[in-house]
Amino acid sequence: MGFDGHFSVWVAGEPPYRVTVSGGTLGGAPYPGVLEAWCESTACDVTPWTTVVVGLMDAYGFNAGDARAMLAAAAGFDYDPFVRLAQGGSVPTHAFDPSIVRQALDNGAGLSAWVNGLIAWIVAGACPIPANLGLPYPPRCGDPPAQAPPVDARPPEARPAADEATCADGTVVSGATTPTAEFELHRDGSATHTRTGLIWDRCLLGQASSDVPKCSGEPLLFTLPELQNLLLGGPSGDGKSYRGARYWQIPTRDQLATLVERRCSMPAVNAAVFPDASPSQMLWTSSTDGFKAAWSQSVGTGEMILVDQTTNKLAVRLVRRAGSETATRSGPDAKR
Task: State the pLDDT at residue 150.
Answer: 47
Q: What single-letter amino acid sits at 153? A: A
Residues 184 and 325 in one domain: yes
Residues 180 and 319 in one domain: yes
Domain assignment of residue 258, yes or no: yes
User: What torsion do the CA atoms of 237, 260, 267, 171 make, to the nearest 10 degrees?
Assistant: -120
How crowded is residue 90: how many other Cβ atoms within 10 Å of its Cβ?
Answer: 15
Task: State the pLDDT at residue 11.
Answer: 64
Residues 166 and 81 in one domain: no
Residues 272 and 136 in one domain: no
Residues 91 and 188 in one domain: no
Task: State the pLDDT at residue 314.
Answer: 97
Count the domains in the chain: 2
Domain assignment of residue 1, yes or no: no
The Cα–Cα gap between 41 and 53 comes to 16
Residues 39 and 93 in one domain: yes
Residues 188 and 261 in one domain: yes
| pLDDT averaged per 10 residues in sequence order, the chain, 336 residues | 57 80 75 88 86 92 85 80 79 78 88 92 79 78 45 57 88 93 87 89 85 80 90 60 76 93 95 93 90 92 94 94 45 25
Task: State the pLDDT at residue 156.
Answer: 60
Residues 300 and 159 in one domain: yes
CB 282 within 8 A of CB 315: yes
* Last residue within a domain, chosen from 93, 112, 141: 141
* Last residue within a domain, chosen from 141, 172, 202: 141
Task: State the pLDDT at residue 334.
Answer: 25
- Tell me the whole-structure pTM to 2 decimals: 0.53
Domain assignment of residue 158, yes or no: yes
* Last residue within a domain, chosen from 141, 159, 174: 141
Residues 325 and 294 in one domain: yes
Task: State the pLDDT at residue 238.
Answer: 53
**Distance (Å) of CA 77 to CA 1, 4, 196, 215, 249:** 24, 19, 20, 28, 10
Full domain range(s) for residue 44: 7-141
